[in-house]
Amino acid sequence: MLACALALVGTGARSARAQLAVTEGTVGATAVAARRGFVGAELGVARRPRGAAGQGRVALTLAGGAYGGSSTPGVRIAASAQFLLKPGERTGATWYGGFGIAFAGAASERGEGYLTALVGRESAPGGAAGWYAELGLAGGVRLSAGRRWRRLRSEPER
């Protein structure tokens, strides 16, 4: 009976606790090894909702660089839905994975759209900033690495 009472008290304390909503900004570098490769710098934004869905992240990245194996200026745009294994970790690193869509192209060459899959590792996803590294498939093999800054906002549960 004591165990049941403690379990109920623990559940109530957890639900009364504030949940984090996280907005992220990303700066990094990306390279895609494919028939029409891409190398460039990327900027991104992401949002993690509060509550149990806090393990999910919706991300949008925009990269500018060289497309198609030449010095042709190009662009790569990607959107993905991701799942973080330990989103509240303030120290150490954790894994995440996701799926999405991407487009890469240039003014002088026809662009291409892709379905994407990715796996990544990032440091301190519950902290104010940390590094990340990703390996993805999107019409070829994509490597991406950089830094994430996070705005952590506490919101009471409704």
* pLDDT at residue 3 tops 80: no
Q: Which residue has the tokens 């509550």?
A: 51
User: What integer is the mean pLDDT of 78-84?
Assistant: 97
Residue 138 has pLDDT above 80, yes or no: yes
- At 108-123, the pLDDT tens digits run 888 899 999 999 999 9
What is the 3-class SS of the chain, one letter each residue?
CHHHHHHHHHHHHHHHCCEEEEEEEEEEEEEEEECCCEEEEEEEEEEECCHHHHHEEEEEEEEEEEECCCCCEEEEEEEEEEEECCCCCCCCEEEEEEEEEEEEEECCEEEEEEEEEEEEEEECCCCCEEEEEEEEECCEEEEEEEEEEEEEEEECCC
Per the prediction, the chain carries an average pLDDT of 84
**Residue of 51 and 103 predicted with greater confidence:** 103
18-27, 41-50, 74-83, 134-143: segment of lowest average pLDDT: 18-27
Per residue in 24-47, pLDDT tens?
Answer: 999 999 999 998 889 999 999 999
Query: Domains of the chain by range and CATH?
Result: 2-155 (2.40.160.20)
pLDDT in tens, 52-75: 557 999 999 999 999 887 777 999
